């Protein structure tokens, strides 16, 4: 039987059965009323299909995984091709049974095939392995994974041969079910294991004599029953893992379940998350111990956060790497940025791609950055734009400083060397370099390089008109 990839199965004399996984992902997803293929909708920050593929690759190598694509095949293929899986084209989508018909040539070299639904992302590798092992132990032609659901509506129902045994007589789709059958709470998950020779020895017996005029894979149960071949069901102890995404409300429900599960996993690992039901954390996010996440935080993509950090409410942090001991105050937006240890950011800072904040540095409120490299201990605390800029260590950037990096056609660089003091409300017109230890007087417009240790004043001298205001007031009265 299949073993999780990574663990090598010990060589035995009798040949190990060859196991493939087929993932059905060719359908349109009509019930979503979407312009995009169902399997490319996202839950937990990843496409539904990507979750299923991740599970599959933990059971068999990618070369033995066949994704059956059809509706918007090119888009679906492009979205998941990097996983290294194989593809089978189901040009016309004539049902789940038809999906397996078109995969016959690809699956012929295998002994067993595990069939997964590309629209049910919560299934775990452990359950797939259990299904596979149960299938072998039963010597069945077909084994399906079933679940008892409180609300089974919309799913196919499992008709058992007897109340006690594991054998199945048929699967009845909701539309064809009698009122009595509709009361059955044991549903067909859409995950199966088949003996490949048995499947293709009998798949020709499927017909389209049903509500949708499609070939239903579920009808293989009755087909095998008639051919006196064994059909078994294995009931999962975790019914939630089989839930599908036929409707928008189901996508949102699954997304919520995944996010909450992620929060609980992180809490198990030593992260404090207040009001976890308000936080959105993608599945690939990593967080170190003793970090505190305040309510209403979103951590997306491949974001990595160190230990002993605190992430303030209403922050949305995407693909960003944050070192240990960093304080992110509320309302920060970050994309593709890096923050070194013990730095402080926010409230309301916006870090755009290419921002790299040094150890112990401070970015304050209403500071926007893009392609900024800021050295150790430097500060830009208020109302500032720093783009295409390199800042050394121990620099103080005054309130309202703007780097003018764009001349209407090209972007230019600003370089601010170690220990510089930039007075408030200065504009630095790039390309420009401020030498080590220099001072920029407040409200300067700096258009030329400033040598080290000098003072640059780039503004008009103040004029004073004594008594001017008094005269104006007297003139008004008379
Ligand atoms: C299917 C089962 C139902 C089960 C449910 C579990 C059938 C007839 N019914 O119903 O018993 O309870 O799953 O979620 O199988 N697909 C193709 N090619 C096609 C048609 C569908 O690849 O021609 C793919 C879809 O993209 C989808 C999967 O197969 O990923 C299941 O199809 P879907 O239409 O969602 O089946 P359900 O109505 O949910
Ligand atoms: Ca479905």
Q: Report how far residue 264's alpha carbon sits from residue 273's, in angstroms, rounded to the nearest whole number.
A: 9
Among the bound ligands, the one closest to the CA of 119: 1
Enter the pTM of the model: 0.88
Cα distances (Å, whole numbers) of residue 412 to 404, 405, 420 = 8, 5, 20
What sign for the dihedral angle of Cα 7, 11, 16, 18?
positive
pLDDT at 12: 52
pLDDT band at 1 (very low <50, low <70, confident <90, very high): very low
Contact between 36 and 12 under an 8 Å Cβ cutoff? The reply is no
Atom of ligand 1 nearest to the CA of 216: 8
Question: What average pLDDT score do residues 353-370 get?
Answer: 98
Among the bound ligands, the one closest to the CA of 190: 1
Residue length, the chain? 478
**Average pLDDT of the residues of the chain:** 96
Phi-psi region of 463 (alpha: psi -120 to 50; beta: other; left: phi over 0): beta
369 CA distance to ligand 2 middle (Å):
44
pLDDT at 393: 98
pLDDT at 320: 98
pLDDT at 297 over 90: yes
DSSP string of 68-96, one letter each residue? EE-TTHHHHHHHHGGG--EEEE-SS---H
Question: What average pLDDT score do residues 73-86 get?
Answer: 98
Q: Report how far residue 154's alpha carbon sits from residue 122's, in angstroms, rounded to the nearest whole number.
A: 18
147 forms beta bridges with 187
pLDDT at 6 over 50: no
pLDDT at 4 over 90: no
Tokens of 171: 């699967």
Report pLDDT digits (tens) over 87-123: 999 999 999 999 999 999 999 999 999 999 999 999 9
Tokens of 258: 């995944």
Contact between 148 and 201 under an 8 Å Cβ cutoff? The reply is no
Among the bound ligands, the one closest to the CA of 156: 1
Mutate which of 25, 27, 207, 219 for ligand 1? The one with the most ligand atoms within 8 Å of its CB, which is: 27
- Lining ligand 1 with CB less than 6 A are 24-27, 39, 68, 70, 90, 93-96, 98-99, 117-120, 155-156, 171, 173, 187-190, 216-218, 244, 246
DSSP state of 425: T
Assign 114 to helix, strand or coil: strand
Using a CB cutoff of 5 Å, list residues around ligand 2, an ion.
119, 244, 246
Report pLDDT digits (tens) over 199-241: 999 999 999 999 999 999 999 999 999 999 999 999 999 999 9
Assign 254 to helix, strand or coil: helix
Question: What average pLDDT score do residues 441-466 get?
Answer: 97
Cα-only R_g, the chain: 31
DSSP string of 266-328, one letter each residue? HHHTT-EESSGGG-EE-TT-EE-TT-EE-SS-EEETT-EE-SS-EE-TT-EEES-EE-TT-EE
Percentage of the chain beyond pLDDT 70 is 97
Tokens of 207: 């017909």
pLDDT at 163: 87
Q: Report how far residue 98's alpha carbon sits from residue 130's, in angstroms, rounded to the nearest whole number.
A: 26
Atom of ligand 1 nearest to the CA of 92: 23
pLDDT at 19 over 50: yes
Residues with catalytic roles: 382
H or E element, residue 223: helix 220-226
């Amino acid at each position: 039987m299949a073993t999780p990839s990574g663990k090598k199965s010990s060589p035995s004399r009798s040949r190990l059965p060859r196991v493939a996984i087929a993932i059905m992902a060719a359908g349109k997803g009509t019930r979503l009323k979407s312009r995009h293929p169902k399997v490319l909708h996202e839950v937990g920050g990843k496409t539904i299909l990507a979750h299923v593929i991740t599970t599959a690759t933990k059971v068999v190598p990618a070369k033995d995984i066949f994704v059956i694509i059809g509706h918007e095949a090119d888009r679906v293929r492009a979205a998941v091709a990097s996983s290294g899986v194989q593809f089978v084209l189901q040009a016309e989508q004539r049902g789940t049974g038809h999906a397996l018909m078109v995969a016959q040539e690809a699956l012929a070299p295998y002994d067993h095939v595990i069939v997964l639904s590309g629209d049910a992302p919560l299934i775990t590798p452990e359950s797939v392995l259990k299904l596979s092992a149960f299938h072998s132990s039963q010597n069945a032609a077909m084994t399906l994974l079933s679940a008892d659901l409180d609300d089974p509506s919309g799913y196919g129902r499992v008709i058992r041969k007897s109340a006690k045994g594991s054998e199945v007589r048929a699967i009845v789709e909701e539309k064809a079910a009698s009122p009595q059958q509709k009361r059955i709470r044991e549903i067909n998950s859409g995950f199966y294991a088949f003996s490949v020779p048995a499947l293709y020895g009998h798949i020709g017996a499927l017909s389209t004599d049903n509500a949708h005029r499609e070939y239903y894979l579920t009808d293989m149960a009755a087909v095998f029953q008639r051919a006196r071949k064994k059909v078994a069901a294995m009931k999962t102890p975790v019914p939630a893992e089989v839930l599908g995404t036929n409707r928008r409300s189901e996508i949102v429900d699954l997304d919520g379940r995944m996010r909450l599960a992620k929060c609980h996993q992180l809490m198990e690992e030593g992260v404090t998350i207040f009001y976890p039901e308000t936080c959105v954390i993608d599945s690939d996010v990593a967080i170190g111990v003793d970090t505190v996440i305040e309510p209403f935080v979103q951590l997306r993509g491949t974001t990595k956060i160190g230990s002993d950090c605190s992430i303030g409410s209403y922050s949305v942090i995407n693909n960003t790497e944050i070192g240990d001991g960093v304080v992110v105050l509320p309302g920060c937006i970050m994309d593709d940025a890096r923050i070194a240890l013990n730095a402080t950011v926010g409230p309301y800072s916006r870090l755009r791609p290419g921002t790299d904040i040094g150890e112990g540095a401070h970015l304050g409120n209403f500071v926007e950055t893009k392609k900024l490299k800021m050295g150790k201990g430097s500060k830009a605390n208020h109302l500032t734009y720093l783009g295409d800029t390199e800042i050394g260590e121990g620099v103080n950037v005054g309130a309202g400083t703007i780097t003018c990096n764009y001349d209407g056609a090209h972007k230019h660089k600003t370089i601010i060397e170690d220990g510089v003091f930039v007075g408030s409300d200065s504009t630095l017109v790039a390309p420009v370099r401020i030498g080590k230890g220099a001072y920029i007087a407040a409200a300067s417009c700096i258009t030329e390089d400033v040598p080290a240790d000098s003072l640059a004043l780039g503004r008009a001298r103040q004029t004073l008109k004594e008594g001017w205001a008094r005269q104006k007031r007297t003139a008004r009265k008379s």
